[in-house]
Amino acid sequence: MAVFGATGSIGTSALDVIARHPDRLRVTVLAAGRDVEALLVLCRRHRPQHAVIADETRFAALCDGLRDAGLDTRAHAGAKAIEDLAGSDACNTVVAAIVGAAGLPSTMAAARAGKRLLLANKESLVLAGELLMAAAREGGATIVPIDSEHNAIFQCLPSARTQSSIDNTLARIILTASGGPFRGRTRASLADVTVEQAVNHPKWSMGPKISVDSATLMNKGLEVIEAHHLFGLPGARIDVLVHPQSLVHSMVEFIDGSTLAQLGLPDMRTALAVGFGWPQRIDSGVGGLDLLAEGGRLDFEPPDLDAFPCLRLAYGALAAGGTAPALLNAANEVAVSAFLQRRIGFLSIPALVEDTLAAIPASPATSLDALHDADAHARHHTAQAVAAARTPA
């Protein structure tokens, strides 16, 4: 199996689960963005056939490190190498855990090649959901969502399948949200929150980008769009409930009034074990849920769209359709990156996304090229707005 984004939060959890099953799971490809040292540590431990560093300037360091370690792992560099390996015979399962739109080409290649696709890279679904789901259908790929909410829904559906099996017995999906580190705060009180506060998630340990997305609730907005593509429901039948304990990972309501939920401790290894083992259940390293030990309560409240407008913006982009979700995602990636670099304040994230959506009209998303153009246009527009905001009048 291939793990793309191997050095990240999801990648690390995936490798932990794989290492528990040496008899049935074997790592053949590892890929990372630019941290060669971390990738080499993983290569020494998992001895893959191929290792890829996306940043081509680090290729020599990867070659040297593999040679010094006495490994016969083949070194590669660049995004194209990741994409090629995703569709190659080097793997039958792909863990898509690169962060951001950079994950789209390899995710798409794995879908086309009919792999089992453990899909954590939600941005690829937001950016190109229709094309990605169509590629998976045509290529015969099995998508198992590696987002706790969508994995929960996958487990609750009768045939535990994504879009192809959805029928009219499904009334509604209820995505749960922890509410992030700023739950209960007013919009005005969020003006000067720091990067440290924003990435300090109360329940989940995750990479910096998704942690900020959780603090703005954009993560839940991306997940509404993700659920739309995976399960084929319109935005009007995808609801969000804030659930601070993060133990109920989502719910599915059927037309007969039944609601099914999946519960568990907040640890992504459960979702990953579902992905690797399905339809069998395999050990994930995560213990069972003791509700009393967890406080004996499950609370729910509506999301505050005034304090966290990103969720509203995402519903709007889904309703607008076409390239609107791609514009939303690109603007958000640029804004979050600027926030993490301390170039803009927290409230500028929704403001920049809203501004970009207002400035660039959505058009039909008929091809990957159209989506790439929309993505590039939105990145350019948002980056300019960031620069302008930094320029004293």
Q: How far is the CB of 277 from Mg ion (least distance, A)?
A: 20
Binding mask 42-61 for ligand NAD (x = CB under 6 A): ------------x-------
Type of residue found at 151: N
**How far does CA 355 lie from the centroid of its chain?**
24
102 belongs to the binding site for ligand NAD (CB under 6 A): yes
Could you list the beta-strand ranges (E) of the chain: 2-4, 29-32, 50-53, 74-77, 93-96, 116-119, 142-145, 170-177, 238-242, 248-254, 259-263
Q: How far is the CB of 119 from Mg ion (least distance, A)?
A: 12
Q: What values do phi and psi take at 292, rounded to 5?
A: -70, -40
213 belongs to the binding site for Mg ion (CB under 5 A): no
DSSP state of 88: S
Q: For residues 30 and 19, what is the distance between their CA atoms, to the nearest angstrom?
A: 14
Q: How far is the CB of 356 from Mg ion (least distance, A)?
A: 24
226 binds, among ligand NAD, Mg ion, none (CB under 5 to 8 A by kind): none
Was 151 annotated as part of a binding site?
A: no
The DSSP-derived string for 147-174 is SHHHHHHHHHSTT---GGG--TTEEEEE
Residues 133-162 that bind Mg ion (CB under 5 A): 147-149
Q: How far is the CB of 204 from Mg ion (least distance, A)?
A: 8
Q: Name which position in 8, 180, 244, 309 contacts ligand NAD (CB under 6 A).
A: 8
Was 130 annotated as part of a binding site?
A: no
327 belongs to the binding site for ligand NAD (CB under 6 A): no
Type of residue found at 94: V
Q: Which residue has the tokens 């990145």?
A: 379
Q: How far apart are the first and last CA of the chain?
A: 53
DSSP state of 183: T
Residues 144-173 that bind ligand NAD (CB under 6 A): 147
CB atoms within 10 A of CB 225: 25
Q: Name which position in 1, 95, 97, 198 contacts ligand NAD (CB under 6 A).
A: 97
121 belongs to the binding site for ligand NAD (CB under 6 A): yes
Was 50 annotated as part of a binding site?
A: no
Of 201 and 360, nearer to ligand NAD (C-beta) is 201
Q: How far is the CB of 33 from ligand NAD (least distance, A)?
A: 3
268 binds, among ligand NAD, Mg ion, none (CB under 5 to 8 A by kind): ligand NAD
Binding mask 262-301 for ligand NAD (x = CB under 6 A): ------x---------------------------------
CB 118 within 8 A of CB 93: yes
Residues 330-359 that bind Mg ion (CB under 5 A): none
374 belongs to the binding site for ligand NAD (CB under 6 A): no
120 belongs to the binding site for ligand NAD (CB under 6 A): yes
Which stretches within 202-347 are classed as H helix? 208-216, 218-231, 269-277, 309-320, 324-340
Q: For residues 230 and 113, what is the distance between their CA atoms, to the nearest angstrom?
A: 18
Q: For residues 30 and 39, what is the distance between their CA atoms, to the nearest angstrom?
A: 8
382 binds, among Mg ion, ligand NAD, none (CB under 5 to 8 A by kind): none
9 belongs to the binding site for ligand NAD (CB under 6 A): yes
98 binds, among Mg ion, ligand NAD, none (CB under 5 to 8 A by kind): ligand NAD
Q: Which residue has the tokens 């990648």?
A: 11
Q: Which residue has the tokens 């440290």?
A: 196
Was 219 annotated as part of a binding site?
A: yes
DSSP state of 257: S
Residue nearest to Mg ion (CB): 147
Dihedral sign (CA 160, 165, 166, 170): negative
Of 372, 367, 387, 366, which is closest to residue 327 (Cα–Cα)?
372
Let me know the angle formed at the C-alpha of 18 by 15 and 19, rounded to the nearest 5 degrees.
85
Q: Name which position in 2, 5, 252, 386 contacts ligand NAD (CB under 6 A).
A: 5
Known binding positions for NADPH: 7-10, 33-34, 121, 123, 207
| Residues contributing to the site for Mg ion (CB under 5 A) | 147-149
| Residues contributing to the site for ligand NAD (CB under 6 A) | 5-11, 32-33, 35, 54, 97-99, 102, 120-123, 147, 204, 206-207, 209-210, 268
Known binding positions for Mn(2+): 147, 149, 223
Known binding positions: 7-10, 33-34, 121-123, 147-149, 178, 201, 207, 214, 219-220, 223
